[in-house]
Amino acid sequence: MKISKKEILINSVKRVVELEKLSGVEEFCIAGRQVKKNTKKHKKKVSLEEYKNNISSCQKCPLGKTRISFVFGAGSPKAPLMFVGEAPGRDEDQQGEPFVGRAGQLLTKIIESIGLKREDVFIGNILKCRPPQNRNPLPTEISACTPYLLKQIDIIKPKVICSLGKFSAQTLLNSETPISRLRGKFYDYHGIKLMPTYHPAYLLRNQSGKKDVWEDMKAIAKELGLKLPQKK
């Protein structure tokens, strides 16, 4: 079947509108005239589970072809704290869960250090699919995948986001500043407090970073009004 130029144009516009909506845009204007308004009253709230089902067969970038699993993220849909890593690795790709390898076990300990459990928080990544050989995410992959993360944040509405590692912090803050300088302070991310800290995989290689991560976690706990557990 031959597709007309008009249909191709309509489909491209639909795709752009869909992406904009995922990233929180509610109104669209053409030539200065408002043509669509999605008021709060009419906006259907999608649950995190529904959203997962809607997007988990994504093929927006080539990683859709090489992945085993679409790693949506895991945890509470009402989490006050959300962690954002870089991308699934081999273990995560195989199991379909974020942070399940060695770095994940360390992340669990970090979460527990402020008196929370993995199920209390939400753990996600910048990319939902594993880049081959764990290479760095490409800009095209990030722009295809970031609207999903924004929508997850919009559904969960965490009080604090903790970005893990250079890649997550630099992507979310649109910055090239090294993680050693970004970490340790809160930033505003779409109205939510964002604390960058070191990635647990980095801590496995550099024990000296643990002290800084502990400082960052204490600041997060304070922001969330959490009482720190007694040291055993």
Q: Which is nearer to ligand URA, 88 or 196 (CB)?
A: 88
Burial of 224 (0-12, 13-18, 19+ CB in 10 A): middle
- Is residue 111 a contact residue for ligand URA (CB under 6 A)? no
Tell which one of 85, 131, 137, 147 touches ligand URA (CB under 6 A). Answer: 85
Which of 51, 72, 83, 99 binds ligand URA (CB under 6 A)? It is 99
- Cβ proximity to ligand URA, 21 vs 52, nearer residue: 52
Residue 103 as a binder of ligand URA (CB under 6 A): the answer is yes
3-state secondary structure of 161: strand
> Is residue 92 close enough to count as binding ligand URA by CB under 6 A?
yes
Query: What gap in Å lies between CA 104 and CA 91, rounded to an integer?
Result: 10
Q: Parallel, antiparallel, or unpaired for β 192-197 and 81-85? A: unpaired
Spatial CA neighbour of 109 closest among 185, 200, 198, 186: 200
Find the length of the chain: 232
Q: How far is the CB of 108 from ligand URA (least distance, A)?
A: 12
Read off the tokens for 177: 């500043």
Rounded CA separation 6/222 (Å): 55
Q: Which of residues 190-209 bind ligand URA (CB under 6 A)?
A: 201
Rounded Cα gap, residues 80 and 99, in angstroms:
19
Residue 95 or residue 175: which is nearer to ligand URA going by CB? 95
Shortest CB 113 distance to ligand URA, Å:
19
- Under the binding rule (CB under 6 A), the answer on residue 87 touching ligand URA is yes
Give the HSE-up count for residue 127: Cα atoms under 13 Å, Cβ half-sphere.
Answer: 29
Q: Work out how close the CB of 41 gets to ligand URA at its nearest, in angstroms, rounded to a whole number.
A: 37
Instruction: Please give the radius of gyration of the chain, using alpha carbons only, rounded to the nearest integer.
Output: 19
Q: Which is nearer to ligand URA, 28 or 56 (CB)?
A: 56
Q: Which is nearer to ligand URA, 132 or 191 (CB)?
A: 132
Q: Please state the closest distance from residue 216 (CB atom) to ligand URA, in A.
A: 16
The answer to whether 137 touches 144, Cβ cutoff 8 Å, is: no
Number of other CB atoms surrounding residue 166 within 10 Å: 21
Nearer to ligand URA, 87 or 145 (CB): 87
Smallest distance from ligand URA to CB 40, Å: 33
Binding-site ranges for ligand URA (CB under 6 A): 85-89, 92, 98-99, 103-104, 125, 201
